[in-house]
Amino acid sequence: MLELGIFCVILLAAGYWATMFIMGRRDDVIHGKFVHTEDEGEFTPAAMPAPPPFPKRPVNAAQTAGQTPVPASKPVNSQALQSLLAAIQQDLKSVA
């Protein structure tokens, strides 16, 4: 396992060297200099532009494609509730 680890590190270093050489960074490959002191004054980082504003959420976003919109329901009276309760009790008695 140790030999395999060492082989992988050497293979990674050779791949890195080959990539830098192909990309034209031959001075960096040969000397290992990645920061050039004579070029320090010329580089100024560009200011990042502000991100665009986040879009507003549409009103009907809560509804999914499978759901139909629910119409406004009218108030329920006590007689309708009593009949519903009686139907539920009758279903429970028939199951038991």
Residue 92 pLDDT exceeds 80: yes
| pLDDT at 37 (0 to 100) | 56
Residue 38 Cα distances to 7, 35, 56, angstroms: 37, 9, 49
Q: What average pLDDT does range 45-58 have in this prediction? A: 78
HSE toward the beta carbon, residue 54, CA cutoff 13 A: 2
pTM of the model: 0.29
Q: Domain-by-domain residue ranges, the chain?
A: 1-36
Query: Residue 20's CB: how many other CB atoms inside 10 A?
Result: 16
The per-residue pLDDT for range 24-38, each reduced to its tens digit, is 766 655 555 555 555
Max CA distance (Å), the chain? 93
**Residue bearing the bigger pLDDT, 46 or 10:** 10
Q: What average pLDDT does range 60-68 have in this prediction? A: 59
Buried-state track 28-46, b at ≥16 Cβ within 10 A, e below 16: bbeeeeeeeeeeeeeeeee
CA atoms of 25 and 37, how far apart (whole Å): 16
